[in-house]
Amino acid sequence: MSETKTFTRFGNLPTELRLIIWSEALSVRSVWAAVFDKLAEFRSRLATRVGPASYPAGLACGESRWLLEQSHVKFPRGPGLATGPGAYWVDPESTTVYLGRAPHARATLDALGADELRQIRHVALRPCQYWSIYEACRRLAKECPALRTIIIHCDGLGHVSEPLVSEDLSPELAAYYATIPGSSIGVGDWNENFDDLQLVSSLEPCFGDSPPMFHVVPSPSPGL
């Protein structure tokens, strides 16, 4: 490996600086989703990450592993949500959980355990009907107390029926979702849509005095 691709004196840096570097390497924004077997009516499920993974940096050495265990949680690939054992390391602060269409959202929330649900900070919904958004938000308010961001991807909202199964999440759309939490994009930022404002005002009461930030984005999404 050339000298431009390695830094052999990394271990000589002050501990505080090394931890900052590891922390930055572990904070990559990503999207977590559940992939379902369309022929098995949600009986066969596999949790997956769509987009870049941050956790490999946490496997580099004992120091980075310690930081990984402090900042990340394990989302299952095992019973109830996977076809095989294991888990993904997920940073709740920088990971968006894709819930997708109404049947996909229900199945994913059913499969996740209470511990995982309590860790979720950001979710993305892709509803077709108003009732499906309201149903999802009522459940999120009850089961995800740490929730800070809800992305609502309006995709023919109110004009088409909810499909029996959700299409797979593309890497391009996942990359777009990953940029939204913490951004200034919000209701009406893409277009001044009174329906969007009404939608959010009807959903915020589900969350009491501290509703999450809603990001309503159109379909097709900008740049996709």
> 81-134 pLDDT, tens per residue?
443 455 678 889 999 999 888 777 888 888 788 888 999 999 999 887 788 889
CA 52 to chain CA centroid, Å, is: 13
Q: Which residues contact 214 (CB under 8 A, 6 or more apart)?
A: 150, 152, 186, 187, 200, 203, 204
Q: What is the mean pLDDT of the chain?
A: 77
Q: What percent of the chain has pLDDT over 90?
A: 19
Q: Which pTM value belongs to this model?
A: 0.79
> 34-52 pLDDT, tens per residue?
765 555 444 444 455 565 6
Q: Residues 185, 217: contact at Cβ < 8 Å?
A: yes
The reported pLDDT for the residue numbered 142 is 95
Phi-psi region of 191 (alpha: psi -120 to 50; beta: other; left: phi over 0): beta
